[in-house]
Every structure is written in C-alpha cells, then in structure tokens.
Amino acid sequence: MTEGALSHIKVLDLSRVLAGPWCAQILGDLGADVIKVENPASGDDTRGWGPPFVTGEDGEPGDAAYYLCANRNKRAIAVNMASAQGQEIIRRLAAQSDVVIENFKTGGLKKYGLDYESLKAVKPDLVYCSITGFGQTGPRAGLPGYDFLIQAMGGLMSITGHDQPTKAGIPIVDLFTGVYAATAILAALAARDRGQGGQHVDMALFDVQAAMLANQAENFLVGGKVPGLSGNAHPNIVPYQDFPTSDGRIAVAVGSDGQFARFAAALGRPDWAEDPRFARNAGRVENREVLVSEITLVLSRESAAHWEARLNEAGVPCGPIHTIAQVFGDSQAEARSLRLDMARASGTVPLVASPLRLSATPPAYHRPPPGFAEHTDEVLVERLGATPCELKNWKEQGTIR
C-alpha cells in the first residue's frame, strides 16, 4: 500500500462539530495520524445530531450520520481537560505532535494552559490552528459563531434565495473553513520544514465567508452596487440558471459567446446570436429579462431529457437538477467511487469518499469514524507509555474514559 503524503505528521484534534473535524479528516485522509480528543462526559456534540443514527454495538441507536461525515481516519480518546491531570496528558500529547487543531472560543483554552503560547513552550515548532467564529482579534473576537449565524452576518444569505434570504442547504462556511484551515496548516508545515519554526494559524468563519463571496464581493467593491437576491441566476453571466421544460427543470450554464451561439442554434433561434442585444454577454446581462423570457418560452415546449440530449450534442453545458439519491445513483458517481463503505464494530457504514485525487499518494481509508473513547487506552500506552495502573487510576478519577 502506498504511504500517505502526510504519514509522517501527527495531529492532535481538540475540535468538535464540523469545521475543525473536517480539517482534521482531510489531513487524516492524506495519511496523518489524527488523535481526536473528546470530553469524557458527552463527546463530540455531533454524535447526537440525528436522526438518522447508525446502529450501535448494543443494537441501540449509535452515532449520528452527521458525526460520521467528518471523523474517519482518526483515533478517539476521551480526556477531561478541566482537570490538572487531563491538561498534563494533552500537553504531553501535544509535545509529540506536529499539529494541534482547536475550535474553542477565543482565549478559551488559556485557563487550561492549552493555548498556543503554552503549548509552544513545550513544542516550539508546533503548528497550532485555532478555528473560531470571528478570529482572535476584533470587537467580536469573544463571540461564538455557528455556520448559520455566519451565513447571515457574512452576507451569503443576502444573495441567496428568491423571495427571502436563504441559507445554503449544507453548512458551507464550516466546510470551506475546514478546507482553508487544512491548506493553511500544510503551508505552515512547509514553512516549518524550511527552518522557519512553528506558528499560530488563526482561522475565522467570518473571514472565510467574506472570501467566499468572491465575484459578488468584487462586484460590490468595483461597481459600488449592493448585490441582492438572485435565485439561481448568475449576476455576471446570461443565460446561466435553471429553466422550466415540459416535464421538469434543466440547468443551463452558457459561459461564452461561442457557447451562446451554439445554444441559440440548438433552440432553433440562431437569430439570437446576431441580435446586438444578445450577441455579447454584457448585452445579455443588460437585457436579461427579455432573453430569459424568450428562452423559457422555447424550452418549455419539450422535455428536460430532449433538451439535455440536444444541448450536449451542441457542446452546451447543461444538466438535470438531481436529488442526492440521484447523485449517488449516477454512473459518474459510481465511476469515481464516490461512495465508500467502511466496517465498524457494529457493522458497515456508508461514507462519502474524499474528492482528492493524487496519482502517487492518494487518500487512503484506514480507520472508520471511531466510537466514543474507542482508542483511549491504545493511544495513551503508545504515545505516553501509560501503565495499566495509571490508566486504572485516571479512569477512577474521571480524567479519562
């Protein structure tokens, strides 16, 4: 089996819910040895964010699907960081780690001696990633931040939806933050390996949401006009939206004037490509309502399948609006092995595979999402040389589970 690109990296994951665990899972998929640390009393909140739940070893409902989506390729331990012994265990684990990931409120780990400056003292070249709602600085630094709140405050909901502001159907800010955090961690590790030492990575959901506004933010900064709700239409390209057909809707993504000429011909309206109102994209944007109305009139005469076949033949990007069931039933999803089945103690669980495709060091799936405290003894013996007596005492004192 090919060794993972990050097989030399040890990650201590003190995070929970989604952004931090998503980041750590990316690193784990690439081969890093990830230790997930949870509260002995309750564990990661997402273990209970269901239904649906998988069946536990006792036949009762086990972990929620939500937890499963972000926690494969990790070992799970439960340590009480509110206790002095628990703090010492985590410090010792951090001293052997390359990366620490945490998403406590800003300054929340300082009282435990587990903040960046404290752990830097025991591991000078540590890469320490903090993920918070608003970052380590600024007037809102101390406030909690959840994905939905940041979608609202960060502008995404103001441009999403038809009749009223609408959040995305997934926790997209958490997911983007996890990906950005993984990218920043890899950059910090590269800098460390060039002799520049460790560093503190400060990731804020609010910052990420602002960056995610991409062309919409730049439209505002350059043009001065505040974007509003646009439904499925594109603010800068026409036609680039869904349209009704005789039996459903179809998504059309015309990205160039050449594609528009082929689109117009396929619809039996080659004159559109010669019309000065529509020949160039800027004109199509300016005359959006007129053109969209005419396109709708033509497309509504035939079925979605008819138009998909005709437009694909013409080289015009288009496709159906799939349900999630249809996505995983699609031949492309099967060809790309997007569904992944992994065996847990209580049975096989289905997961979504990593989208990363590396020819020499691809992601590998060594461990299913771990059960609560599944690896506490294993990790503490392996990493800290804990004896059976120490493990017994720590458990009796509530330090570990």
Catalytic residue numbers? Answer: 174
Q: Which amino acid, 387?
A: T
Tell me if 94 sits within 8 A of 123, measured CB to CB: yes
Tell me if 235 sits within 8 A of 219, measured CB to CB: yes
Tell me if 115 sits within 8 A of 91, measured CB to CB: no
Q: Nearest 5°: phi and psi at 384?
A: -110, -5
Q: How far apart are CA 336 and CA 308, in angstroms?
A: 22
The DSSP result for 205-274, as a single string, is HHHHHHHHTHHHHHHHHHH-PPP---TTS-SS-SSEEEEE-SSSEEEEE--SHHHHHHHHHHTT-GGGGG
Chain-centre distance of CA 151, in angstroms? 14
Closest to 85 measured CA to CA, from 386, 373, 388, 379: 386
Q: How far apart are CA 180 and CA 131, in angstroms?
A: 10
Q: Which residues contact 285 (CB under 8 A, 6 or more apart)?
A: 236, 237, 238
